Amino acid sequence: MRMGETMARKLITASLALAALAASAPAIAQSYPSKPIRLLVGFPAGGPSDVPARLIAAKMQASLGQPVTVENKTGAAGMIALRDMLAQPRDGHTLLLCSYIDAINPLIYKKVDYKLDEVVPISLVQKAYYAIAVPNALPVNSLQEFIAHAKANPGKLNYGRVGTGSVTEVVPRQFEKISGISMTGVTFRGTGPALQEVVANRLEFMVGPISLTMPLLEGKQLKVLAMTSPERLATAPSVPTMKEQGVPIVSEGWWGVCAASDTPAPVLEAINKQVVAAVNSPDFKTPIEKTGVIAGSTSLADAATIWKETANEAEKLYKKIGFERVD
């Protein structure tokens, strides 16, 4: 009998605790934000992480009535900004414009002082595919012609890469493995300088962001042989995909807003609503999609799934191409 009474008391206590939590949730959400919000960006101003961050910050500030400040804290493949977020109170007032890079850094570097479950993705904001750029002077106009040219000139062709384990390195290495060619990777500090080397005919192959590559194509400064998208893009309908040309590679990058784990669920939900509203607004979509980037938001659950899938898929891919962690 006493055991039954004890169990009943425990159930009542648990029920009261859940009720109290449910009752406090609206209050927590209504009180957020109680101070200015910092939106950290791990990469330089003007880049693919910075631009959406500033558009979202402006929309959130107008909606919430609190300052939302974008801070560029560059270095260590975005990890300086991420560490700053994790070092702050877990109350949703310090956020990160995160990306697929944050999900795969633990697979790239041996010394990474954060775990994936320390970060909570709130919503994606955009995704982008990439263009395969080559010099105008290179005597090729398709991937198959490039493969034939590379086989006829073993060890003579170079590709540009920006960041270890990034799309700019992984896609060329996939391409090499699938096609049976060999190129030499040359490291650059940014995709812009690398693409200028393609224009100058000093670099034979580059996986470039569409936002930077398409203006050069339109200006007839280089050639684009393919896109890494699953199907042709509306911004470049005349450019075939890699898949269309017999090279089964599809690669995309995504960007989103993240918080530190242990941030109260009501706060995460409140931020998700703000980000979704911002991303779906013309003020965000119009300028973003003009660059060939695809704007799009997600639920908290879908963002969490994409976060995990990104890491899992990258781990499998790195094993296939023989990529090993670096110091």
For residue 282, how many C-alpha atoms fall within 13 Å in the half-sphere facing its CB? 0
What pLDDT is attached to residue 2? 46
What pLDDT is attached to residue 242? 98
What pLDDT is attached to residue 217? 96
How far is 201 from 136, CA to CA, in rounded Å?
A: 8
Give 127's strand partners. Answer: 254, 294
Better pLDDT: 7 or 267: 267
Better pLDDT: 320 or 119: 119
Q: What is the mean pLDDT of residues 106-134?
A: 95
User: Who's near 182: CB < 8 A, 6+ residues apart?
Assistant: 150, 154, 155, 176
Give 72's strand partners. Answer: 41
* pLDDT (tens digit per residue) in 22-51: 444 455 567 899 999 999 999 888 888 899
Q: For residue 101, which of 134, 76, 68, 130 has the smallest C-alpha distance?
A: 76
Q: Which domains does the chain have, with CATH numbers?
A: 36-127+253-283+300-321 (3.40.190.150), 129-245 (3.40.190.10)
When pLDDT is cut at 50, 70 and 90, the band that residue 253 belongs to is: very high
Q: What is the mean pLDDT of residues 178-204?
A: 94
From residue 144, give the alpha-carbon distance in Å to each of 128, 136, 137, 140: 24, 16, 17, 8
